[in-house]
Amino acid sequence: MTGISLHMAVAGLLATSTPLFICEGASAQTLSDLTQVCAGCHGDQGVPTEKTTPVIWGQNRDYLLNQLNDFKIGHRKNELMSPVADSLSRTDMEELATYYSKQPWPNLQQPAPPADVQVAAHAVLNPLNCRGCHQMHYQGDMVRPRLAGQQDEYLLKTMTDFHTGERMNYIGMHVLMKSVDEAALKPVAAYLASLQIAAHPK
């Protein structure tokens, strides 16, 4: 699906569901209404429609909540997510974050990269001590996202955006990614995308 058609699909969902412009506090929408809108991009079975769209099924609750809030207040920007988040109440965001955190992480069946790519990935990940924040299996914690098994193109875009300063809602990540040569980010994305976790460690 192209960016234009994806935009139209989401716009159609917004137009046909309960109006999204709600006051802060109680929501006039049901959780089902909200997840129908989310599924337009993130997939109704947890597999996103675009490779640059993140998996949110099974993602850590507080991370999801923080990102929705950042989109809402403008600390993070996206032409599709910003208007959707702007229309959500705090209750909506909490319900969505809780709901998606309890869903099973989908297996995107992204293959392990060749050995030389894995070596190149570790050459970046180990000195930066990425496990110090994202945990031993790259499963994340309460406020940091799971990286293992995430979309490879989304991971690459996110790291690149932090590197260039396009994304600045976490200054620590900008500083870390700025210290890495941009060409070295692709092996990292491929390696992290290939990782599988038997469960979803907390």
Q: Could you report the per-residue pLDDT of 130-143, keeping only the tens digit for each?
A: 999 999 999 999 89
Domain at 3-101, CATH from 1.10.12.10, 1.10.760.10, 3.40.50.720, 1.10.10.60: 1.10.760.10
Indicate the pLDDT class of residue 19, thresholds 50, 70 and 90. very low
Q: Helix H segments across the chain?
A: 3-16, 31-42, 61-73, 81-86, 90-101, 115-128, 131-134, 152-164, 171-178, 185-194
Q: Which residue has the tokens 């500083």?
A: 175
Q: 201 versus 146: which is more confidently predicted?
A: 146
**pTM of the shown model:** 0.84
Closest CA to 12 of 27, 20, 138, 100: 20
Kindly report, as residue ranges, where domains of CATH 1.10.760.10 are found in the chain: 3-101, 115-194
Q: Would you say residue 96 has pLDDT above 80?
A: yes
In angstroms, rounded to a whole number, what is the distance separating the alpha carbons of residues 78 and 71? 8
Indicate the pLDDT class of residue 50, thresholds 50, 70 and 90. very high
Q: Would you say residue 11 has pLDDT above 80?
A: no
9-13, 18-22, 142-146, 193-197: the lowest-pLDDT one: 18-22
Do 5 and 71 meet the contact criterion of CB atoms below 8 Å apart? no
In angstroms, rounded to a whole number, what is the distance separating the alpha carbons of residues 136 and 155? 18
Q: 107 versus 199: which is more confidently predicted?
A: 107
115-194 belongs to CATH 1.10.760.10:
yes
